[in-house]
Structure formats: C-alpha cells, structure tokens
Structure 1
Amino acid sequence: MPVPYFHLEKINLRCRVKKYRLNPEKSQKRSLEKRFDEIFTRKTGFASLDLALKRLWRNKSELLLVLKRPDIPLHNNLSERDIREYVKKRKISGSTRSASGRRCRDTFTSLKKTCRKLDISFWDFLKDRLESRNKYPPLAEIVKFRMTCSSA
C-alpha cells in the first residue's frame, strides 16, 4: 500500500469520526471501529510506519473514546493551551519562594485565563473587584449562565 494512499484513508476516517460526533448512530460506531482496525493493523512494508500503526492500534480505546462519549473534543489542544502560559512563567522565573506565593500565582493565572475565555478584560475585572464597583458578577455566575444558555 503506498504511503500517500494510507494518509488519505486516515484523513477519511477522521472526517467520518467528526461526522459521527455531530450525529452519533450505533451502526456507524461499529463501522468506524472496523475501519480503524483495517487501517491500523495492516502491514505497509515500511518498518517505522508499521511500528507507528501498531502503537496507534494499541491505543484504540483512547483514540476512539469519542465513539462512546461524543461530547468530548477530538483533541486536547485547549487543555494544552491552558497550561502553556503557566509552564512558560515557571521556566523563566524558576519557582515561587513560598506556598503562599504559589497560591497567589496560581489564582491570578486562573482568573486571567477564565476572564480571557469569557471575553472579559482581566484588568477591568481586577479593578472592578479592587474598587468594589461590582460591575461584573462573580465569574462562577457568568460561567454557569453561559453554560445554561449554550445547552438550551
């Protein structure tokens, strides 16, 4: 099997999984699992590709978890993006000197990330809290409200 053809099969499978996620049907689930096995258990004649395929096939349950749980994302880019800023700061500054310093850093980082996700200026929110203006409701209420609106 030529390698470019294999790549097209893999892309096609991913597209089918994406469609399944939007409209899960039990008959499609079995078909996707079977297709996954067909693609990732075949021999290509390229040792490194065959090893990679075998490794991917061994992780089938994780890679196809979306078939059991269509509500989960197909990737973890958002989670990785969430911790990237924290990791960069830790790399640059080393570490905090105390547990209190660590809690402060983690709290501010979390607030900043939450504000960014809610499209609220972190500095405006912080100033609002420090000056007791109460222009913004608590972030937890905003999150809860938006989740309620998006699921309705």
Structure 2
Amino acid sequence: MTFFPMADFQAPINGRFSAPNDMQFGAEALALLRDEFNIPTKWQQVIGDVGEMQFDRPSLTALLDGWFGSGNQQVRTAIEHATAIVYYRHQTAVPVVDTLVCDDASQFKLLTAKLAACWIHDGRNYEKLSPVVPRHAALLNTFRQRYRDYYESLRQYRASPSTERAASLGFEFDELFASRTGYAALDARIAKTAAKKNELLTVLSEPSVPLHNNASELQARVSARRRDVSLHSRSLPGVRAMDIFTTLVQTSKKLGTSAYAYLRDCLRKRFELTSLAETIRSAVEDAKLQAASR
C-alpha cells in the first residue's frame, strides 16, 4: 500500500513526468471520459476511433488543435486529464499512489484507489463557527473537546493498532457524530463530518495512513510564500530552477541535512555527503521495516 499526503503528491496532469509518452488513449480513457467527465457522444466516437495509443504532450496538443482549434475548451481539458490519469495508472517511473490523504478536493478521486480525509482540515470547520448565544458557545466548546478526545484516541490506535480497538473506535465515531445539540449550525457541521466516516476512518484498516496532511500543507505554503515575493518566473527554465532549489532546500530540511553543505559538496564535486536520493531510499526502507514489525 502506498499513500501520500495531498501536498506531497504530484499529479500526472502537471507535466512533471519525464517519460516521452505521457498520455494514453484507449478503452480505459474512453470509459473515464464517458462515465466521469460525461463528454458528448460525438467526441466519444472520435476518441474511440483513435484506439490504444500513447502521445507525448506536443503530439497531443497538435491532435487536439486539429480537432478543436481554439474552442471546446471543456472537452479538450477533459481529454487531457483522462489520458494523463490513465497513463499515470500504468506507468512505472514513480510509485502509483493507492491512498491519498487530502481535504475535500474531489479532483483527486480519479487518481487513487482511495481518498483518506484529513482530520485537521475537518476540525478547522468547527473553529469557523461563530455562535452568538452563550448556550450555543458552550455547546460548541463541549463538542470540540469530545472531538479532540476522539482524535487523540485515533492517534493512540495508530501507534498500537488492534482489531478490537478498531471496532470500538468505529462505534465511538457513530456515537459522537450522531450527536444533536440544538445548535443548528453545529448540528449541520456534525452531520457533514459523519458523512465522511469512511474517508476519516481509513486509519482503522490502514494504520500506516496519517490522520492529517498538515505538515505537507505547510510545506506547500513555502512555494506560495516564494511566489508572494518573486511573483512568477519569466521562463520555463526559471520555473524549473525555482522548483529544483525549493525542493532541494525543503527535502534537506526534512532529512536533517544542511542544504548549504549539500549544494557546496555537489558544486565542488567532492560527493562526501550521502545523496538525498539515497537518504530517502534508506528512510523508506526503515519505514517498511517498522511497519512490518508491528
């Protein structure tokens, strides 16, 4: 089982794959376009006639330009997304993600076999409630404490999972989120959380899946803050340079390595420090061993 928090996940649509063929036409793409994107029957027939073929990005752009010109942007985008998703599902250059931890972002549902919901994101919705009546404020505070207590129980379960405790936590979820307080806004919010039971309780069947993706969200903000300062790069090489160096700095920070020392070692071609790639591989193997020993 492979999982990624949302902000660590690079979707195939953004063009980061280095493989020459990154768009896959065929029966699977056609099924997505028909069942999920609901494109017109006319274009379903056209795409079906293409058959099982791969296109690189420039070739696909040329094909779609011939079909649509500058119009029909919605269908064009659907084709780009569906063919990229199908390619991603079958490529071997990067791990295919089985479970993705995210907020309520529905655009990720086609990329992974399962979506797990972020508890911190869900909890923030309760913080947004602004009761005016003192009784409502007291009800909200009481429920939020019960919410935090349940979340702490999930954290403890994740550290030491068991079948019996998983079943118990499932029942506790039903009891907690079946609550009705009489504060309409709070009750509506509780019902929305209850509707996401399967996504929020992924950890009960897959204890290795995180309860939240908050750390990844914070990492994603690094790029946003950089953009606030420098706006956008003027060229594609500039975009790549910013992405590369931001990734190097943030990866070094996560691994406890000095980015300055690492870059200095590379630029001076001494290669005395372990490469980041090798450090990541070692960390992954250690995580696998820890998971297997549970």
In structure 1, the partner of 2:245 is 108
In structure 2, the partner of 1:131 is 268
Q: Segments of 4+ in structure 1 off by > 4 A?
A: none
In structure 2, the partner of 1:86 is 223
In structure 1, the partner of 2:189 is 52
Q: Once the two structures are aligned, what percentage of the paired residues are identical? A: 34
**Mapping for residues 1-150 of structure 1, pairs under 5 Å:** 3=139, 4-149=141-286
- Between Structure 1 and Structure 2, the one with more helix by share is 1
Following superposition, the deviation at residue 27 of structure 1 comes to: 2.0
May I ask how many residue pairs the two structures share in their alignment?
152
Following superposition, the deviation at residue 98 of structure 1 comes to: 1.2
Q: With a CA cutoff of 8 Å and minimum separation of 6, indicate the structure with the bigger relative contact order.
A: 2
Indicate the RMSD between aligned Cα atoms, in angstroms: 1.9
Distance (whole Å) between structure 1 residues aligned to residue 221 and residue 256 of structure 2: 19
TM-score with structure 1 setting the length: 0.89
Q: Which consecutive unaligned segments of at least 5 residues does structure 2 have?
A: 1-137
Q: Which consecutive unaligned segments of at least 5 residues does structure 1 have?
A: none
Following superposition, the deviation at residue 148 of structure 1 comes to: 3.2
Following superposition, the deviation at residue 80 of structure 1 comes to: 0.8
Question: Deviations for 1:56-84, whole angstroms, at most 9, x for unmatched residues?
Answer: 11111221111121112222111112111
Distance (whole Å) between structure 1 residues aligned to residue 204 and residue 235 of structure 2: 44
Task: Give the partner amino acid of 1:77.
Answer: N
TM-score with structure 2 setting the length: 0.48
